[in-house]
Structure 1
């Protein structure tokens, strides 16, 4: 392994509960510049390390299935950083996709502090409009300017919207939600004895061939996890409510490799279909808020009653403890809350928030969740244990704070600095960032091209 990435990769490996010896025994090669993305934090190390641990974990599962030596793994830092900017670098050819951000989403100066409004979902925008009585960027700015930031944040959240005041790190850690998650890791894994786990089909060329993954994730972090699993052979079925309106600009990236179906989990007929899918799944990955599945009657006890051997993986924004454990959140909001945007401003001498150059908390959490799932599949095969996995963006932020940033002062890379590859989607041809990381003898392959939600039947493709 390239020594310049050894510390970051080791820290991420430990975050999975793995031992140093387990990583040292792997055939891992890391290449590329030590710093690719300019930031006050080690975003390059985080990205390269996250890709490395997920790819190694997939290679280890492949070796366990084959009862053979682990194939060699190689990871390049430039390719890893490009993947962390994949939704921005995706380029349609001959067609257009909607903007990544809603027109009124962004940072605003309130009477006493900066606040970020997240309005990419229509219902979240509507909450902001109700609270402020404003409907475009100019009138929103005027309304925000006369209000205290924390009072506005509370009002928007209570109205069903999403907002975050910019805090410095000290103030965040002194707050109730910050103190509750100050030591939160990016991923926790709790194992249980596995009984009645289904046996995936005989292994083929790819690590996750025959593995069934039920995908209840949205936006970026969860879909990054399930796209990785799909790229290495998993049968990934994404479930959304009928008519669900995901951020449309993300779908050409986040639906790659997956089949997508619609089920209404408040309807008895669709619940029966969902439970049949659960019974046949190896993995459930959820990006819903902590209390969402419980309110639908699917807490951990209910899920394991349907399928005792299923691996359950969940992620959220603000962690699994404290007053914000069920709070709506996104990467850009967590960066404002926990001190990252403030530290970015301090490092660059700016008066306004300076976030990371990419949605690094989202992407790293997705890769780490995928690594934890791969390790859990290996442990289920070799030790007859299953796992409950929980990840969070705030835990990944804590990990990022533990990494020492490189001293390089870099220009902001342009799209021409990264290599894109031709692809097809249901909307038309495009160029996208290839999946970073390589497993010797196991080339990435996505069986489904990206396309709209709800376009497939709610059945397993491997049935």
Structure 2
């Protein structure tokens, strides 16, 4: 196994996207792993993905001004960003409740472990229906004791529900899904159509992404982090939710900073026409629905490249866009469970039950990679034209983290409390109250990253550009 440094990881991202290697001289990445209790090099992942996003913003600004600027990302600030939902506070209240009580690990009849993900009410109801038990952790545990792990894993997946059998890295590698994504790069930036060159609008603007319009059709963490990362460099980000789709309130607040928020119902023709109208004036279309879901409504990448030549279409998914699990519902913690990460953390720490990473590292890293990909594609559009499709997934990001090599005693590192990161936090007044949240980790010497807007409730704004 290799030992990955933050600098090597950043170089891998940068060169995979065929960006100008000269820019890498303008980055500083102070700090060393382990920055959190984990045997994985989570700090290197955080630093490299955030630095890639910050450096891409700096390079897009250079296209506008001709000036390079230095980018610094401290590991401790990057790790604070990777735990932004954990450090969020409203009016100095208690930490937000992010998980349903039934969510978690359960032992099966054949002495395996399975993880349930029940944070959305309809997912919880579906799991309880399959198990035939009450909404109570003890009842769920007893019901799962009557199932073999692999059978329950497949039964829940077939029902469109969210669970993952805890696998070893070797068991995961043997699956067809792991083999499918093993053939993919960390991310893809693909030209999907012809369009004229579009240099950055408003030459000489003070912020890297001034004039860039982003439609953010994503929920929970990975996609919304990508939209938030674009907003903090000056993009106009309009978050679009469906009126029927569930959300998790603290994540709406944490990842809604810098964005406006509208509701559009894509189940009816009027809603689809409204979104099409927004697409015509958009630069980036960011979506985190399961592969094919939006294409079925007429909003696939090729369709939008016809509606808006020059669009940068960004797709975020759980298990990758190819392979038998491409359509499987997934979240960060489930990908950790399925791919051997939770098994490896447990083995190292000697725990009785599986153990997740100390942050939603796959979500956050994938979000920053999506933002990076969007900016790299905007830079290509500015120099060679074209419409572009950027693809990232939690499983591809997880596979990359697993290639970094392990820190055998990394799990012994001290945990990091909110008091340890007070200098990484800032407050803003919002309709939710006074929000204390993690500030952008990347420091650009000429164009500091910042949030121009407080978070807003879902549907607070009209579905139109400012």
With the shorter chain as reference, the TM-score category is over 0.9
Counterpart CA distance in 2 for 1:129 and 1:28 is: 50
Match of 1:435 among 420, 437, 440: 440
Counterpart CA distance in 1 for 2:351 and 2:93 is: 37
Q: Secondary structure at the match of 2:240?
A: strand
Return closer, same or farther for 1:412/1:95 CA change in 2, 3 Å cut-off: closer
Kept after mapping to 1: 8 A contact 2:86/2:95: no
Q: Please say if 1:69 is aligned against 2:72.
A: no
Runs (5+) with no aligned partner, structure 2: none
Q: Secondary structure at the match of 1:448?
A: coil
TM-score, with length taken from structure 2? 0.93
Q: Secondary structure at the match of 2:334?
A: helix
Deviations 1:124-174 (A, max 9, x none): 111111111221111111111111112112222222310000010111111
Q: Please say if 1:291 is aligned against 2:292.
A: yes
Counterpart CA distance in 2 for 1:261 and 1:421 is: 25
Q: Please say if 1:127 is aligned against 2:126.
A: yes
Deviations 1:343-374 (A, max 9, x none): 11111122311111100000000011111111
Query: Could you tell me how far 1:197 is from its partner in structure 2?
Result: 6.8
Deviations 1:236-267 (A, max 9, x none): 11111124321122111011111111111121
Return closer, same or farther for 1:325/1:105 CA change in 2, 3 Å cut-off: same
Deviations 1:14-65 (A, max 9, x none): 343446x3443x4111223443112111101000111111100110000012
Kept after mapping to 1: 8 A contact 2:194/2:385: yes
Deviations 1:71-109 (A, max 9, x none): 111111100000000000112225567510011111111
Kept after mapping to 1: 8 A contact 2:309/2:386: no
Query: Could you tell me how far 1:444 is from its partner in structure 2?
Result: 2.2
| Deviation >6 Å, runs of 4+ | none
Q: Secondary structure at the match of 1:301?
A: helix
Return closer, same or farther for 1:384/1:268 CA change in 2, 3 Å cut-off: same
Counterpart CA distance in 1 for 2:430 and 2:258 is: 11
Kept after mapping to 2: 8 A contact 1:13/1:23: no
TM-score, with length taken from structure 1? 0.94
Counterpart CA distance in 2 for 1:117 and 1:341 is: 13
For 2:156, the equivalent position in structure 1 comes to: 156
Q: Secondary structure at the match of 2:216?
A: strand
For 1:218, the equivalent position in structure 2 comes to: 219
Counterpart CA distance in 2 for 1:23 and 1:364 is: 21
Counterpart CA distance in 2 for 1:6 and 1:235 is: 30
Query: Could you tell me how far 1:294 is from its partner in structure 2?
Result: 1.7
Count of residues paired in the alignment: 456
Deviations 1:245-300 (A, max 9, x none): 21122111011111111111121112111111011100100000001112212222
Q: Please say if 1:28 is aligned against 2:27.
A: yes
1:61-460 → structure 2 map (5 Å cutoff): 61-66=60-65, 68-95=66-93, 99-112=97-110, 113-134=112-133, 135-192=135-192, 194-195=194-195, 201-203=201-203, 204-406=205-407, 409-419=412-422, 420-460=425-465
For 1:48, the equivalent position in structure 2 comes to: 47
Range moving further from structure 2, 159-168 or 403-412: 403-412
Counterpart CA distance in 2 for 1:406 and 1:43 is: 10
Counterpart CA distance in 2 for 1:406 and 1:11 is: 21
Counterpart CA distance in 2 for 1:107 and 1:424 is: 38
Counterpart CA distance in 2 for 1:184 and 1:349 is: 33
